[in-house]
Amino acid sequence: MSLKIILIILIACPLALTGRKWTYNGLDGEHDWPTNYPFCGGAFQSPIDFQTHLLRYDPNLPPIQVQNYNLSTSEQLTLGNNGHSVQLSLPSHMYISSLPHRYSAAQLHFHWGSSNLLTGSEHTVNGKQFAGEMHVVHFNSDKYPNVSMAVDKHDGLAVLGVFIEIGEANPAFDKLFRFISGVKYRDQKIQVPAFNIRALLPDRLDQYYRYDGSLTTPPCYPSVLWTVFRKPVTISRKQFLALATALYASFAQDSPSMPLHENYRKSQLPDNRVVLVSFREGLHGILSVASPFHRRQVVQKLLVGDLADLADEGLYQLLPKLSLHTDTDKKLKRPKKQRHWSQATQKHQWSKNNVPSDNGYSSSVGKNIPTPWYMGALETGKGMCFVSLEEQVIHQLERYQAKGLMVEALREVVFPELNLRSYLHCRSDLDLQTIRQLIQGRSRDEAAELEQSLTKAMLRQMRRQIKRRRNPNIKTTMGHPQATVPKDYNLELAYHRPQHVEWED
């Protein structure tokens, strides 16, 4: 079988892949997901731990507004057991109205622990895991006709995450949990009367975490805009046990039956992402996010500006987590006339590089000039389809001359554009790998000088972290102790790890 056919099967035919067996533990568990689902080992994966040092306050985040969530009891919904979770279908006339596009509802489902383990949420807050988590999955109905068409697009999905903790009983969940006995086994489905879905959400929809991530089940496409509400909802222990003990992951005819519990994915790497938050109370000294305009200026400087200026003065713009001192080592500077671009020169350079000017988007004159990789992020109207990455992955595999590095090649293709998109939307910092991609066409000396400055800055930051590890009482700018640094921490991997690049059931 040719390499191209293999990749078509693995990447271009996700429907075939979704039929492959996968579990959360044991054989075919999440450790083995990347073997059949390359994106599961890739970039921008979910869930993550909302650690305080990742948070950035964004005052422009509006309260979440949902429409048509109060469904009529005369409407029928499908409740099913897919072997991984219990899932409730939702009508597409339910939608989120507070995002740039209209995101229509598709389904909701749950992740939970077990009767012996009352912790089963996928996202966590500073390591705290809640009893469970509900996901309400929406698709971009402005651009795609249904969730199946949207699932592999970079702007295809928006998921509302709700933490669940044990506490007071919640009557709204009884409208769903009382029917669970009808879907005890895999692939069983029943019709249930609709109800007010809004009652399943927290009272306050204005406090939440926001970041770019992925489906938390195979094929793990990094296509989700996550909104996870800060305040959990409560259910009683009896309600939790009704969910955690009544279901089986196996078919009715299977023996022995396999309980359906502990169906949550472990936390994934942050991948240099930040988490935007719409609240400030309770978070001491939280940093505010840089504006999108400021970030576009940084990208412009990387593409056409003077890299020596960035090496001297702009490191905090590229990697905001690095708090540089004013006594930063001075770098060799270019003559002043070479370090400053006139407006005419900048306009000419923007045109040459086919990147947007301040007044709009410039177009390439030469029809045979290939579109730069970063145009997918800079042109907001251009969609990114993960299936369409097949040709780029093939190119990378041919370069490696090895089939076994598919995940690494996929990540190397996907990560820079994902990181740049997320950076421009204020949901990540720039990764060194992305910076290298942006400046690869620049002067070798300037590029080397900038990377050397970045490396030195990271070394200084790492030394400070080591000192804080020895003295944990030292506070960071976030007002919380800095995470400890393992003894075997590799500085070279801090921003350039080996590149192992849901469909929520």
Catalytic residue list: 84
Q: How far is the C-alpha of 84 from the C-alpha of 217, rounded, in Å?
A: 9
Q: Collapsing DSSP states into helix, strand and coil, what is residue 180?
A: helix
**Token reading at 499:** 């590149």
Helix (H) or strand (E) segment spanning residue 437: helix 432-438
Strand (E) positions, 199-318? 208-213, 224-229, 233-235, 275-277, 287-288
505 with 217: CB under 8 angstroms?
A: yes
Query: Does residue 219 have a cis peptide bond before it, meaning omega lies within 30 degrees of 0?
Result: yes
Q: Collapsing DSSP states into helix, strand and coil, what is residue 339?
A: helix
Q: How far is the C-alpha of 338 from the C-alpha of 318, rounded, in Å?
A: 22
Q: Collapsing DSSP states into helix, strand and coil, what is residue 175?
A: helix
Q: Indicate the angle between helix axes 292-304 and 406-424, nearest 10 degrees.
A: 120
Q: Collapsing DSSP states into helix, strand and coil, what is residue 225?
A: strand
Q: How far is the C-alpha of 325 from the C-alpha of 48, rounded, in Å?
A: 30
**What pairs with residue 259 in β-bridges?**
248
Q: How far is the C-alpha of 420 from the C-alpha of 154, rounded, in Å?
A: 12
Burial state string for 288-320 with b = 16 or more CB within 10 A and e = fewer than 16? ebbeeeebbbbbbbbbbbbbbbbbbebbebbbe
C-alpha distances out from residue 191 to 89, 91, 177, 250, 448, Å: 10, 13, 13, 21, 63
Q: How far is the C-alpha of 315 from the C-alpha of 273, rounded, in Å?
A: 17
**Within 10 A of 203 (CB to CB), how many other CB atoms are there?**
9
